[in-house]
Amino acid sequence: MQLTRINKYLSEAGYCSRREADKLIEQGRVYLNGKVPEMGTKIAEGDIVTVDGKTILNKNEKPVYIAFNKPVGIVCTTDTSVEKDNIIDYINYPKRIFPIGRLDKASEGLIFLTDDGEIVNKILRARNNHEKEYIVTVNRPITSNFIARLGMGVPILETYTKKCLVERLGKFDFRIVLTQGLNRQIRRMCEYLDYEVTHLKRVRIMNVQLDIPVGEWRDLSMKELQTINDMVSKSEKTIDSSNLGKNKLSGLAESRPHQNPSNSSDSKHFKRNNSSE
């Protein structure tokens, strides 16, 4: 693809006329690789153009959806100039792509990457309804009380974690299924209970299982994509955005009526949440 003015690109993609494209750019509704472009900006192959959060593809282009088994030590960032061990350079995909969500640098396992900003927004908006499954190893023997308390929820990052499925697998290993994406959530949950995570692997996101070796990627199948779209569509219809913060500190009185975090010894564990895991 040769360099093409962004208004011409939108027109050739069938989105709108060039004049209408110019108006959208002036209104700040058009983004090029995550930034607002100047009028007359030209785009090259691999650039990502979005309007109101929706990725606009050339009629001859197909969106990219891949599953990647991230190794330990790789950082889920698109800022290749700052982080040398970034996920983008590691995969070295021929088109510009970006990760959906995050996976800790010290963790390994499944993560999605795409060039479709629309599906990213949908999945992240509905993240509290979608399961992510992990296999975790800790530094000392697991007890029944540890499993039970993880499953019921613990206080971290100015909130209580949601109830979740936890299953003991061995003396030091357990399986956990989350429907949240708090910053370093599993590690913080274990830390609260005086355990240290020594190994963490994500083995499932929604309907997609980890089935490739560490460091390799594959395209998502049409069946997997259809199921993801169905799940996202259903969750968008049932989630009221005004209720997304119910589990925050302001809602603790409703969810846990017998606990006052400000007076509890647990309150020392509350920290500010700045990013998702």
Q: State whether 71 and 192 are in the same domain.
A: no
Q: What angle do CA 41, 45, 48 make, to 5 degrees?
A: 65
**CATH number where 17 lies:** 3.10.290.10
Give the H or E element holding residue 59: none
Q: State whether 118 and 186 are in the same domain.
A: no
Count of alpha carbons within 13 angstroms of residue 101, beta-carbon side = 28
Domain that holds residue 102: 65-126+210-230
Report if residue 134 sits inside a domain. yes
What is the distance between the alpha carbons of residues 67 and 92, in angstroms, rounded to a whole number? Answer: 14
Q: State whether 135 and 119 are in the same domain.
A: no
Radius of gyration of the chain (CA): 21
Interstrand relation of 98-100 and 159-160 (parallel, antiparallel or unpaired): unpaired
Give the H or E element holding residue 33: none
What is the distance between the alpha carbons of residues 230 and 227, in angstroms, rounded to a whole number? Answer: 5
Highest-confidence segment of 8-12, 61-65, 149-153: 149-153
Residue 39, classed as helix, strand or coil, is coil
Determine contact, residues 127/232, Cβ cutoff 8 Å. no
pLDDT tens digits for range 20-52: 999 999 999 999 988 899 888 988 877 888 999
Residue of 194, 100, 154, 70 whose CA lies nearest to 176:
154
Q: State whether 133 and 162 are in the same domain.
A: yes
Q: State whether 136 and 165 are in the same domain.
A: yes
Q: State whether 118 and 191 are in the same domain.
A: no
Helix locations, the chain, DSSP H? 6-12, 18-26, 87-91, 117-125, 144-152, 185-192, 222-238, 252-255
Residue of 65, 27, 114 whose CA lies nearest to 226:
65
pLDDT tens digits for range 52-88: 988 887 766 788 999 999 999 999 998 888 889 999 9
> What DSSP designation does 112 have?
E
Report if residue 112 sits inside a domain. yes
Report if residue 71 sits inside a domain. yes
Residue of 38, 35, 65 whose CA lies nearest to 47:
35
Q: Which tokens belong to 231?
A: 């799940």
**CATH number where 149 lies:** 3.30.2350.10
Number of domains in the chain: 3
Determine contact, residues 138/190, Cβ cutoff 8 Å. yes
| pLDDT given at position 243 | 46
Q: State whether 118 and 219 are in the same domain.
A: yes
> What DSSP designation does 161 have?
P
Q: Is pLDDT of 164 > 80?
A: yes
**CATH number where 97 lies:** 3.30.70.580
- Catalytically active residues are 104
Q: State whether 69 and 119 are in the same domain.
A: yes
What does the pLDDT average to over 234-259? 44
pLDDT tens digits for range 177-201: 999 888 999 999 999 999 999 999 9
What is the model's pTM? 0.70
Report if residue 163 sits inside a domain. yes
Residue of 133, 134, 136 whose CA lies nearest to 172:
136
Q: State whether 111 and 221 are in the same domain.
A: yes
> Which amino acid would we find at residue 170?
G
Q: State whether 107 and 154 are in the same domain.
A: no
Q: State whether 44 and 150 are in the same domain.
A: no
